[in-house]
A and B are shown apart, each in its own frame.
Chain A
């Protein structure tokens, strides 16, 4: 039967995590994601789980490191400046190959920036942020229903590959209310956790969770293993939506809440006799290169739209690799691109490619 509720994005993330079997949450307050904490504070004690307000984002991510080391499903959440503070722990979690889920409800930066929505942490999420050659899976939901489904999925992906998965949303998604359809029961996959540091009970050798390997030849081999894992994830986990791409003159590329504005643009353009399509990356890492291969021959050009100075557009250019022109338009600092902003750019591109 399921359950149909009107809920705020941030609360849905928290509810989804609990439904996915997460019983450990460590956080620190920061706008615009704090409702995740509030929800966890209220609900975790009712399900026998742990909600703990840490003394800092640094401490929170290290509590995640500790809980993940025991093999438990664990989550933290924050917003841009707080995610910067967590980068040390994120790098260690990557190095120690621990499964964990981290939520970034992005706000405008750099520095303390503002509290309005932004997508300017794309580089940080997909290219590193912390030190070392590591990646994490980055999921980009575009609505409250997807916040629910992808949060559940994030835990399964993390456990499947022993990797950190980030839910990369923005202030719009975190704060908006929409209807969400909850399933009666989640598909919680079972995974081997024999690597966990949970007390050997004198029944096995002692387990060691570490990210340090002072012998460079050994450390290189660990890195080779990481890269092989990331390659496997790239093969298996690319997700994307193709919308109205069949006869598109120009294909828009956008993720998250911007992709919804782009759907409005597509409708507006159709009324003016212009056919636009949309490639919506749902996984930002792995970047959905397959989506572009499917549509590469269709449009005259691609137009990437972001709430940033242009970050994902670099991956679009790498993927398109000179086969078609790639344009960019965006707003920064918490400003949201309007249908008019984007249409102006569309008309300019159309002019260039008569």
Chain B
């Protein structure tokens, strides 16, 4: 009998700790499938963030390094500069990458470090129980914006992909979403392309993945997927910001 569906080899066979309805699991699977299909597990080194994905070093079957909050791009830089022939990726949330780690991501992109960044944008801090993130939408209620995010007091949400796309360094930046099957397939292609860009030595690649946080949004999983489509995509449009014509 032919196997038509199986767990990727690049994922360890262990239970994940993510909440029901959270799309981290899908994002992990997409990364693992890309690693499998490109046959790079043996030479890939991943960098885990601080946040909900802090211990995904237990989930990915490649060598893994856990980094301090926001510092994953600097850690990945140290790894890639030591082992330029290996494949290096970071997996970071929006608190990690877009708040405390802003300097590190901007400069890794500016240097065009030949690494791949998987950036999960769910407009909230998940792990610490739902505080405002730099990506939190105006009006969005969080535990630290209980009356809704007010631009006059808390400023505006940051569009990371667009911001990084103003730099000359990045080779490939795309924003994708996990809110339905069609978009998950596009996300898969984007993640795979990002790794291929690195393998080809083209430089910095980043895939921003619009993701859910049902627990801290106070929505059920289905409503959460709808929120991505109805509220997030209008502010965070999907598409390729750098490298649309890049063939790898």
Chain A positions near chain B (C-beta within 8 angstroms): 24, 26, 50, 52, 54-56, 58-60, 62-70, 72, 74, 88-89, 92, 96, 197-203, 206-212
Contact = CB atoms under 8 A, between A and B. Distances in A.
B92 interface: no
Contacts of B103: 55-56, 58-59
Contact of B66 (A24, A203, A206, A208): A208
A201 B79 contact: no
Contacts of A197: 45, 63-65, 79
B67 to A, nearest CB: 7
Interface stretch (B70-78, B195-203, B206-214, B222-230): B70-78
A70 B83 contact: yes
Given A69-B65, A206-B60, A206-B61, A198 B86 contact: yes
A257 to B, nearest CB: 32
B75 A66 contact: yes
A67 B107 contact: no
B20 interface: no
A202 B42 CA distance: 5
B63 A206 contact: yes
B43 A62 contact: no
A24 B81 CA distance: 8
Contacts of A89: 68, 71
Contacts of B43: 199, 201
A251 to B, nearest CB: 43
B60 A198 contact: no
Contacts, number: 135
A92 B76 CA distance: 15
A101 to B, nearest CB: 14
Which 7 interchain pairs have the tightest Cβ spacing? A66-B78, A62-B74, A63-B78, A210-B66, A66-B75, A197-B63, A67-B78
Nearest to A196: B63
B66 A209 contact: yes
Given A66-B74, A92-B68, A201-B42, A59 B61 contact: no
Interface string B42-68: 111101100000110110111111111
Contacts of A54: 74, 107
B82 A55 contact: no
A199 B104 contact: no
A24 B80 CA distance: 11
B174 interface: no
A240 B107 CA distance: 43
Contacts of B78: 24, 26, 62-70, 74
A85 to B, nearest CB: 12
A66 B82 contact: yes
B66 A59 contact: no
B41 A62 contact: no
A59 to B, nearest CB: 4
Nearest to B62: A206
A55 B113 CA distance: 13
A197 B66 CA distance: 11
A168 B76 CA distance: 28
- Residue of A66, A69, A88, A92 with most partner-chain B CB within 10 A: A66
Contacts of B64: 197, 206-210
A194 B68 CA distance: 23
Contacts of A88: 68, 71
B81 A200 contact: no
A46 B183 CA distance: 48
A64 B71 CA distance: 11
11 contacts: A54-B74, A62-B75, A65-B68, A65-B74, A66-B47, A72-B82, A89-B71, A199-B62, A200-B62, A210-B55, A212-B66
Nearest to A205: B61
A199 B54 CA distance: 20
A59 B68 contact: no
A175 to B, nearest CB: 29
Given A206-B60, A208-B57, A199 B45 contact: yes
Contacts of B80: 66
Contacts of B77: 52, 59, 63, 66
A26 B113 CA distance: 14
Interface string B99-120: 0000110110000000000000
Nearest to B84: A50
Given A63-B78, A199-B83, A200-B63, A55 B45 contact: no
B74 to A, nearest CB: 4
A320 B83 CA distance: 49
Contacts of A210: 48, 55, 57, 64-66
A64 B76 CA distance: 10
A65 B75 contact: yes
- Residue of B63, B76, B86 with most partner-chain A CB within 10 A: B63
